[in-house]
């Protein structure tokens, strides 16, 4: 787990997506308690269970590396061959930057879509392509990328991560550009942060962010009282619910 968190810190901005999966029977509350108390520096996505198309393993920790095209590249103990894993990750991140696919057109589109995170540029490239299966497939890929990033903004809001949601929304607006259909949708999302409810969520999240920094700086002893202070002005907010979960996690004995 520490190696996965380290890789995520170093490479997430370049396209690495890290998922930590608990497979030993803990519930969500126990997992949240464990992560806050043992790994407060974690930024990886964490979940319980889930299907993973990898060879079975009876030991832990167990990891897998899946390439940009969805193929399994490696699985096993994360520390069994650190050099090989790093080389594989570097090779896949190079594909993210330069694009991948069987044709120059596909590589250009994916370099724009993933390497430059420019949905608008990728859309312009696809629009200039000749009709055919490749254009249809790439257009579908662009549409899914846009839909997933738009949904991510709403998911972050619902989870009480309003500062992250606003940053993600601004990044998506920049990525989309002047697209006639997508730009109005993003403008509507951006407006939600300027509403009274949105401003209230952001204000609470700014205070809660100080608590998160406190936890990451290993000052957890003072965190419960700091969270309680945040909660006094967070009633009815999504950020308040998130802060309450953190407070409960800190007071729960991890498994």
Model confidence, pTM: 0.89
- Residue 26: per-residue pLDDT: 81
**Share of residues in the chain with pLDDT > 70 (%):** 96
Structural domain for 208, as ranges? 197-251
pLDDT band for 176, please (50, 70, 90 cuts): very high
- Residue 196: per-residue pLDDT: 97
DSSP string, the chain: -HHHHHHHHHHGGGT---EEEE-SS--HHHHHHHHHHH-TT--SEEEE-----S---SSSS-EEEE-TTS-EEEEE-TTS-HHHHHHHHHHHHHHHHH--SSSHHHHHHHIIIIIS--HHHHHHHHHTSPSSHHHHHHHHHHHHHHHHHHHHHHHHHHTT-HHHHHHHHHHHHHHHTT-TTHHHHHHHHHHTTTSHHHHHHHHHHHHHHHHHHHHHTT-GGGHHHHHHHHHTT-TT-HHHHHHHHHHHHHHSPP-
Same domain, 91 and 7: yes
Same domain, 35 and 87: yes
- Residue 52: per-residue pLDDT: 66
Q: End of a domain among 53, 71, 95?
A: 95
d(CA 132, CA 134): 6
Least confident segment among 61-75, 119-133, 141-155, 222-236: 61-75
- Residue 51: per-residue pLDDT: 67
- Residue 50: per-residue pLDDT: 67
Same domain, 19 and 35: yes
Same domain, 77 and 90: yes
Same domain, 189 and 103: yes
Same domain, 136 and 219: no
Q: What is the largest CA-CA distance in the chain?
A: 62
Half-sphere exposure at residue 196, Cβ-oriented, CA atoms within 13 angstroms: 1
Q: Determine the average pLDDT of the residues in 111-134.
A: 96
pLDDT digits 0-9 by tens, 45-94: 998 876 666 666 667 788 889 999 999 999 888 878 888 989 999 999 99
Q: End of a domain among 53, 69, 95?
A: 95
pLDDT band for 252, please (50, 70, 90 cuts): confident
As for how many domains the chain has, the answer is 3
Nearest to 186 by CA among 100, 109, 178, 222: 178
Chain-wide mean pLDDT for the chain? 92
- Residue 79: per-residue pLDDT: 77
- Residue 245: per-residue pLDDT: 94
Same domain, 25 and 55: yes
Same domain, 215 and 239: yes
pLDDT band for 130, please (50, 70, 90 cuts): very high
pLDDT at position 250 over 70: yes
Nearest to 70 by CA among 36, 100, 48: 100
Token pair, residue 240, equals 């308040």
pLDDT digits 0-9 by tens, 192-243: 999 999 999 999 999 999 999 999 988 878 899 999 999 999 999 999 999 9
Say which residue the tokens 């009709």 belong to: 131
């Amino acid at each position: 787990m520490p190696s996965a968190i380290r890789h995520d810190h170093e490479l997430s901005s370049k396209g690495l997506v890290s998922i930590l999966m608990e497979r030993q029977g803990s519930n969500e509350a126990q997992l949240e308690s464990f992560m806050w108390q043992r790994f407060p520096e974690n930024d990886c996505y964490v979940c319980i269970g889930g299907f993973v198309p990898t060879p079975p393993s009876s030991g832990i920790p167990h990891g897998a590396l899946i390439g940009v095209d969805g193929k399994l590249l490696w699985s096993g103990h994360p520390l069994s061959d650190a050099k090989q894993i790093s080389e594989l990750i570097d090779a896949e991140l190079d594909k993210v930057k330069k694009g991948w696919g069987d044709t120059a057109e596909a590589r250009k589109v994916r370099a724009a879509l993933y390497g430059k995170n420019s949905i608008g540029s990728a859309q312009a490239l696809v629009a200039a392509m000749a009709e055919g299966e490749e254009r249809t497939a790439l257009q579908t890929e662009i549409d899914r990328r846009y839909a997933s990033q738009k949904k991510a903004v709403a998911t972050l809001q619902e989870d009480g991560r309003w500062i992250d949601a606003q940053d993600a929304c601004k990044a998506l607006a920049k990525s989309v550009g002047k697209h006639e259909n997508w730009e109005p949708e993003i403008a509507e999302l951006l407006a939600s942060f300027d509403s009274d409810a949105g401003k209230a969520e952001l204000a609470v999240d700014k205070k809660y962010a100080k608590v998160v920094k406190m936890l990451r700086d290993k000052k957890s002893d003072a965190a419960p009282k700091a969270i309680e202070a945040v909660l006094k002005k967070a009633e009815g907010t999504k950020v308040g619910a998130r802060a309450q979960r953190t407070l409960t996690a800190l007071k729960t004995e991890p498994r």
